[in-house]
Structure 1
Amino acid sequence: MKFLLDNWMLVLMAVASGSMLLWSTFGRGVAGGAVSTAEAVRLINREKAVLIDVCEPAEYAAGHAIGAKNVPLATIDGAKNLPSNKALPLVVMCATGARATRAVAMLKKAGYANVQPVSGGLAAWREANLPIEKV
């Protein structure tokens, strides 16, 4: 107890740094419902999630995750190449994650039950050294 009282500043710094570490680890996945690239791969491999890329066709052609279907954000309403089974998990990606978050809201409004954006988008996908293909 004497140690804690004598070194209260060190204890406070240790608690603060531990809190920030936990928040950065768990906070991103919870906030906004975004999934990490590792979780996206798990969903695709184990739960047969469909990867949807909402980039514009030119961006998609320049490079996209292997197996991603291109459904530009502007065409999501009424898109024909979305899965007809609305219970199927969807993982949505764009260049950085901003458009994917908007697309998730649109897809949920259209009745898709299990839709999640990839945190960081294609940039995070590349950073994780996951496979990319070009058209």
Structure 2
Amino acid sequence: MQQFIDFFGNHLALFAAFGTVLLAIVANEVHGNVTGGKRVGPLEAVRMINDREPVIVDLRAMADFKKGHLLNAINIPAAKIEERATEFKDKARPILLYCALGGSSVEAAGKLRKLGFSEAYPIRGGLNGWMQSNLPVTAK
């Protein structure tokens, strides 16, 4: 125990930096859950796709969409999500949203919730998170 106390005393800046980073990560997660609603991980998204047949929306540019996307996804650029929301007929049907990294999808989900879509879920990590989980994409 004394070694730990000595180490802590000799490396205060290191522990302060660690605490700051840890606090920033926690604050980011809490802020995302409060403002952006629930985010689903890639495996939760697969479960939802299999059980509930959500609308899957790719928010990236058309050129990126053509290179690879989730099966049965439709392409709606993030900037046009509000004007094209009328394409979603059933407001109770879940909507899975993703972009490249996950940031734009949180914002788009918030916009859809304000329009009355209660189940708009961004995929955590976006398409990159999806592919890092070794899940398939298609270019068709």
* TM superposition score category, shorter chain reference: 0.7 to 0.9
TM-score after normalising by structure 2: 0.71
Measure the CA separation in 2 of the matches of 1:110 and 1:76. 11
Instruction: Give the Å deviation of 1:74.
Output: 1.2
User: How has the CA–CA distance of structure 1 residues 75 and 115 changed in structure 2, closer, same or farther, with 3 Å as cutoff?
Assistant: same
Q: Which sections of structure 2, spanning at least 5 residues, go unmatched? A: 5-21
2:94 pairs, out of 81, 89, 108, with 89
1:46 aligns with 2:23: no
Q: Structure 1: state its 5+ residue gaps.
A: 1-5, 10-19
Q: Is the 8 A contact 2:85 2:112 kept in 1?
A: no
**In the alignment, which of 69, 72, 79 is matched to residue 77 of structure 2?**
72
User: 1:71, 1:81 within 8 Å by CA — same for their partners in 2?
Assistant: no
Q: TM-score, normalised by structure 1?
A: 0.74
Q: Give the 3-state SS of the residue equivalent to 2:87 in structure 1.
A: coil
Q: Among 89, 99, 105, which residue is 1:100 paired with?
A: 105
Residue identity matched to 1:60:
F
Separation (CA, whole Å) in 2 of partners of 1:91 and 1:81:
16
CA distance in structure 2 between the partners assigned to 1:70 and 1:46 by the alignment: 22
Alpha-carbon separation, structure 1, partners of 2:54 and 2:85: 18
- Could you tell me how far apart the structure 2 residues matched to 1:82 and 1:48 are? 16
Aligned pair count reads: 116
1:44 Cα deviation (Å)?
A: 1.0
2:61 corresponds to which of 56, 68, 79: 56
Cα distance in 1, alignment partners of residues 82 and 102 from structure 2: 19
SS of structure 2 residue aligned to 1:64: coil
